[in-house]
């Protein structure tokens, strides 16, 4: 099984980003924040001319599969400390809205009681006109996970499209019962 081509690519560090290594822990600091990543024991890292180079020290199937993944996660961290990751959500429906109360997100999505979520410490939210929510943060995984949790409160339904969706997400709407009966002749 060949070694990952993605894992062999160097990671170029933008200006203002610093990297420190401590055994298997890589800490990356940038203008937007700092993150760290625990590396598997079979991957070694070195810094040369503002580039991070990874090397796989094992020849097992697990090591080869984790080699490219580790490099991609490091690249996402470098990108995140320079430009924070952003997910945009919108809520569609009568009376549906987002509001923020202290460090909590309050979602009114057609239930009897509003759904209240604690905003994670490293996540920043911005609400535009009560129907659009922007979630941003340094960690790509954490931003995506929180956006997924918010979307699961009320997924878009297939008949009218009401619910919470990512901006620019396409929802294929089904025809209703009336449309089906009028087409049969």
Domain that holds residue 99: 85-166
Is residue 171, in this structure, part of any structural domain at all? Answer: no
Q: Extract the tokens encoding 109.
A: 């999505």
184: CB partners within 8 A, 6+ apart: none
Q: How far is the C-alpha of 49 from the C-alpha of 141, rounded, in Å?
A: 28
Q: Do the bridges between strand 163-166 and strand 123-128 make them parallel or antiparallel, or are there none, so unpaired?
A: unpaired
pLDDT in tens, 131-171: 999 999 999 999 999 999 999 999 999 999 899 999 988 98
Give yes or no: residues 65 and 109 share one domain.
Answer: no
Is residue 16, in this structure, part of any structural domain at all? Answer: yes
pLDDT in tens, 22-80: 888 999 999 999 999 999 988 888 899 889 999 888 888 888 888 889 999 999 999 99
Give yes or no: residues 67 and 103 share one domain.
Answer: no
pLDDT in tens, 79-101: 999 999 999 999 999 999 999 99
Give yes or no: residues 12 and 63 share one domain.
Answer: yes
- Asked if 98 and 133 touch (Cβ cutoff 8 Å), the reply is yes
The answer to whether residue 182 scores a pLDDT higher than 70 is no
Quote the radius of gyration of the chain (alpha carbons, Å): 22
- Closest by CA to 107, choosing from 91, 124, 128, 88, is 91
State the pTM of this model: 0.86
**Which has the higher per-residue pLDDT, 144 or 185?**
144
Give yes or no: residues 35 and 93 share one domain.
Answer: no
130: CB partners within 8 A, 6+ apart: 97, 98, 99
């Amino acid at each position: 099984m060949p070694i990952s081509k993605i894992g062999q690519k160097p990671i170029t560090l933008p200006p203002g980003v610093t990297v420190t290594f401590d055994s298997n822990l890589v800490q990356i600091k940038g203008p937007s924040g700092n993150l760290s990543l625990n590396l598997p024991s079979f991957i070694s890292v070195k810094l040369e001319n503002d580039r991070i180079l990874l090397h796989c020290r094992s020849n097992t199937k697990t090591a080869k599969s984790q080699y490219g993944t580790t490099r991609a996660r490091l690249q996402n961290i470098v990108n995140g400390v320079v430009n924070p990751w952003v997910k945009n959500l919108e809520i569609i429906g009568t009376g549906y809205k987002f509001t923020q109360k202290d460090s909590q997100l309050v979602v009114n999505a057609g239930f009897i009681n509003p759904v209240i979520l604690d905003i994670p410490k490293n996540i920043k939210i911005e609400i535009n006109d009560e129907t659009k929510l922007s979630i941003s943060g340094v960690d790509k995984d954490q931003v995506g996970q929180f956006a997924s949790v918010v979307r699961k409160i009320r997924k878009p339904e297939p008949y009218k499209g009401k619910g919470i969706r990512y901006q620019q997400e396409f929802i294929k709407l089904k025809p209703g019962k009336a449309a089906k009966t009028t087409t049969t002749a």
